[in-house]
Structure 1
Amino acid sequence: MRSKRQATLIGLIAILLWSAIVGLIRGVSESLGATGGAAMLYTVASVLLWLTVGFVRPGEFPRRYLIWGSILFVSYEVCLSLSIGYANSGRQAIEVGMVNYLWPSFTMLCAMAFNGQKSNLLIVPGFSIAILGICWVLGGDQGLDFAGMAANVQDNPLSYGLAFAGAVIWAAYCTVTSRIANGKNGITLFFVLTALVLWIKYFTGDGGTMVFSYQAIVYLALAACAMGFGYAAWNVGILHGNVTILAGASYFIPVLSAALAAVILRTPLSIAFWKGASMVCAGSILCWLAMRGQRSKAPAAPEPGAVPERVPGQ
C-alpha cells in the first residue's frame, strides 16, 4: 500500500515533469517542425498514457463531457504546442509559455462567472498582478515597457495569440468538466484525438520535412515521458497524497518552467523576466486565496489533462 508521503512525492515529480514541457516541446519542434513535432509528441505520449493510465471506451463517458471535453481539450493542446513551435526563438518560446500560465487566474474568474464560486476582494489584486506580470515579461529587458511589449507581440502575433487563446480555453475546460465529467478522466482519449488532429493538419498543410536526428529523438522521448508519466504521477498524487501541498506547489510551475526551459534551450533570461514570472505566480496564488475557504472549493492548478474537479485549492 502506497503511503501518503510517497504519493505526495510522486505528485511533486509530476509538477517537475510538467515544468520541463515548454523547453522540451520547443526542442522537438526545432527538429521536426511545429506541426510534425507536435503530432509525433502527442502520438508517443498517447501510447505512454494508454500503458500507464489506461483507456476508457468513449461510451463510458457522459455525452456532454465527451463532446465538450474533447473539443476544449484538443483545442487547448493544439494551441499550446503550436504556439511554442511557431515561436521565432527560444526566448520567445519561453515568453509564449508564460502567457499560457494565465490560465489559473482565468479559471478562477470562470468559476465565479459560471459555477457560482464565491470569492473575496483578493481576486482583484490577484488577477491584476498576474496580468501585470505578463506585461512585464513581454516588455523584454526593459521590464514594464508597453511600447516594447507591443513590438514584441507584433513580431509574432500568431504564437502569442495561440498562447492567450489556450489560456482562455483551458480555463473553460476546467470550469466545464468540473460540472459534467462525473469523476471520469478522458485524458488518454483526448491525447489520441489531439494527435489525430495534428496529423490531419500536418498532411493537409505545409507540414514540412521532419529530420529525425539523435537530438530530435532524445527531445521527443523526454517530452513524451514528461507528458505521459506526468499525468500518471499526478493522478497518484491527487488520489493518495497531500492535496494541499500539491496544490500550493503547482502555482510555482511558471517560474520552474521558465528556469528549466532556459537551461534546456540555453537561453539567458533577464532580471525583468524573472520579476514578471514571479508576479504571475503571486497573482495566481492571490486568486486561489480569494476563493479558498468559501462555500465551494476553488479549482486547483493542474496541468493540462489532469482532473481539476478532483483537486481542491487548485
Structure 2
Amino acid sequence: MSYLTKNKYTFYGVIAILLWSAVTALIRDLSELFSPIGGAAMMYTVSAIFLMFVMGIPKIKDYPKQYLIIGGGLFVTYEICLALSLGLSNSRLQAMEMSIINYLWPALTVLLSVVISDKKINILVYPSILLAFTGVAWCISGDQGISISTLLNNISDNPLTYLMAFSAAIIWAIYCVVTQSISNGKNAITLFFSATAATLWVQYFFSNEPSLQFTLPSMLTLLLSGIVIGAGYALWNQALIGADMILLGTLSYFTPVFSTLFASVYLSISLTGSFWQGVALVTLGSLICFLVTRDKKHI
C-alpha cells in the first residue's frame, strides 16, 4: 500500500472520530426539538437509510447468526441507553455528564480484556482505570470536590439516566471484546442501525411522548444528525482497510475532549474548570490503558 493511500484511509478515520465527537450534542438537541425517544428514533432511521445508500442494503444471510444475535443485541441496547441517557437528562449540563460516563468504555474494555486474558498484564492498567473513574466522579461532583455524599446526591437527582449511561459504557466494552471473535470479519452496522431505529419506534409508540412536530430548522438538524453519525461509521469502516491504526487508536482516546468542546459550543454550555479537569482525567486514564496494553509488535 502506498504512502498516499495509507494517508487517505487515515484521513477517513480522523474525520470519523471528529464526526462521532458531535453526536452527544446533536442527540441532546434532537431530544429538545422533538422528544427523547422520538428524536432518537428519527435520527437512527435517517442514519440507517444513509448507510444503505453508502454501503448497500445488507443481506442477513451474509452474517454469522451468533454475531447478529449477540452483537446486534449489544449494539442496539448500547445505542438506546446512550441516546436516552442524553435525552432524558434534566439539563444540558447533566447530559454532558452522561457523555463523560459513556467514555469510560475504553478503560472498561481494557479491564474486560485483562479479566479474560491469560497474558501477563502491565501493572499500570489498574491505576489507569482508577484514574478514568476518578475523572467521571470529578465531573459529577463539580466544584464541591469528590465525596460519596456529593456523588449520591447528584445521582439521586436523576438515577435512571446515570444508570443508563454507566450501563452503556459496560455494554459497549463487552461489544468491543465479544464481536472480535464472533463477527468473522463482517460488519453489520447497517443492520444494527436499522434494528436500533425499529426498537426505538416501538418504544415511542408505547410511550407517553407527544406527537412529533416538524419545522424546517428541526428537520435540517435531524438530517444533519443522521448523516453525521452514519458517515462516522461509514468512514471508520473505510479507515479499517488501510489506515494507521496506531495513530487513530491514540487519537480516538481524545474523543471525550473533542466531544465536550463541541457540545459546550453547540449547546452554549459554560463548563467549570473542575469539569474540564475530570474530562482530562478520563482521557488520560483511557490513553494510558491503551498505551500499556497495545501490541508492540505492530508499532
Give TM-score scaled by structure 2 length.
0.95
Percent of residue pairs identical: 42
1:230-288: CA deviation from partner (whole Å, max 9, x where unpaired): 11111222212211111110000001101101111111100000000000011101111
CA 1:271–1:143 in 2, change beyond 3 Å: closer, same or farther?
farther
Aligned residue-pair number: 297
Which residue of structure 2 aligns with residue 308 of structure 1? none
Q: Unpaired segments of 5 or more residues in structure 1?
A: 296-311
Amino acid at match of 2:24: V
Contact 1:130-1:279 within 8 A present in 2 as well: yes
CA-based RMSD of the aligned residues comes to 1.7
Matched, 1:216 2:196: no
Matched, 1:183 2:177: no
CA 1:116–1:226 in 2, change beyond 3 Å: closer, same or farther?
farther
1:78-121: CA deviation from partner (whole Å, max 9, x where unpaired): 10100000011111111101100001111111112235454200
Shift in Å at residue 141 of structure 1? 2.8
Q: Find the aligned partners of 2:49 and 2:118 in 1 and give their Cα distance.
A: 38
Matches within 5 A, 1:59-70: 59-70=61-72
Which residue of structure 1 aligns with residue 290 of structure 2? 288
Q: Which moved more, 1:9-18 or 1:146-155?
A: 146-155
Which residue of structure 1 aligns with residue 106 of structure 2? 104
Which residue of structure 2 aligns with residue 48 of structure 1? 50
Q: Unpaired segments of 5 or more residues in structure 2?
A: none
Amino acid at match of 1:198: L
Contact 1:140-1:148 within 8 A present in 2 as well: no
Which residue of structure 2 aligns with residue 306 of structure 1? none
Pick from 134, 137, 143: which aligns with 1:135?
A: 137
Shift in Å at residue 71 of structure 1? 0.8
Q: Find the aligned partners of 2:228 and 2:117 in 1 and give their Cα distance.
A: 32
Give TM-score scaled by structure 1 length.
0.90
Shift in Å at residue 8 of structure 1? 1.0
Contact 2:58-2:191 within 8 A present in 1 as well: yes
Q: Secondary structure at the match of 1:87?
A: coil
Which residue of structure 2 aligns with residue 262 of structure 1? 264
Q: Larger % of helix: which?
A: 2
CA 1:257–1:9 in 2, change beyond 3 Å: closer, same or farther?
same
Q: Find the aligned partners of 2:158 and 2:171 in 1 and give their Cα distance.
A: 20
1:190-237: CA deviation from partner (whole Å, max 9, x where unpaired): 000000000000111213222222332232122111111111111222
CA 1:193–1:116 in 2, change beyond 3 Å: closer, same or farther?
farther
Amino acid at match of 1:245: L
Shift in Å at residue 133 of structure 1? 0.3
Which residue of structure 2 aligns with residue 250 of structure 1? 252
Pick from 55, 74, 79: which aligns with 1:72?
A: 74
